Amino acid sequence: GDKGFEVIHNLKEVCSTMRPDFKVQCEHGIGHGIIGVLGYDAQGVVEALDTCDRYIPESDPVNGCKGGIFMENVQRLMHDGTMHPRAFDEASRWEPCTSLTGANLGGCAFWQPMWWVSTIAIPDDAEAFARKLGAWCAEAPGGAPSQIRCFAGIGNVIHVIIGLSTER
C-alpha cells in the first residue's frame, strides 16, 4: 500500500515467471491487496476491478486478480489475517454483483456462496441448506453465465456445508 499501484507492474512481472497455476494464484493475491487498500464498499470494489483491468487485463475473473478482489470482499482477511466476513443480509445477497456486468459479474457470482456459507449458520439439514443456496444461484443476476459460476462456487465450499474437513 505504501508503494502505490505502480508496484503492480513489478508484481505482475514476478507472477509471469511462475508456472501457470502459480501465476494465477500470484495475481489472485494482488487482487486481495488492491481491495484491501481501496476499501470494501461498492466504490472500492469497482475501483479495484478497474485497477486489475489497468495492470493485469488478461487476468482470470474467478481465480486471478479479480477473483482475489471478490474473495477478499467476502472474507476480509487483509486487516489481521483472520476472516471478518461482511455482514449478511438476505435481501442484499447479490451485492455487489448486481452492479457488475460480463466476466466481472460471473467472477462475483462464483465467490458469493463463500460469503453465504461463512456468515449463515449452517443448519443440521445441510441438504436443505445446499438446496437454498442452489435456489439463490438460480436467481443470479446476468442469467446462465452467472448462475453456472455461482453453482461452481457452491462446489468450492460444499465441504463446509456438509461438514467435511479440508485437512488430511
Q: Could you read off the pLDDT of 38-80 as tens digits, one per residue?
A: 999 989 999 999 999 999 998 888 999 999 999 999 999 887 7
Task: Return the pLDDT at 1.
Answer: 67
Q: Residue 26 carries which DSSP code?
A: H
Task: Return the pLDDT at 124.
Answer: 86
Task: Return the pLDDT at 48.
Answer: 96
Cα(129)–Cα(8) distance, rounded to whole angstroms?
40
Q: What is the pTM of this model?
A: 0.90
Cα(129)–Cα(155) distance, rounded to whole angstroms?
13
Instruction: Flag residues of the chain having pLDDT under 50.
Output: none
Closest CA to 115 of 83, 142, 91: 83
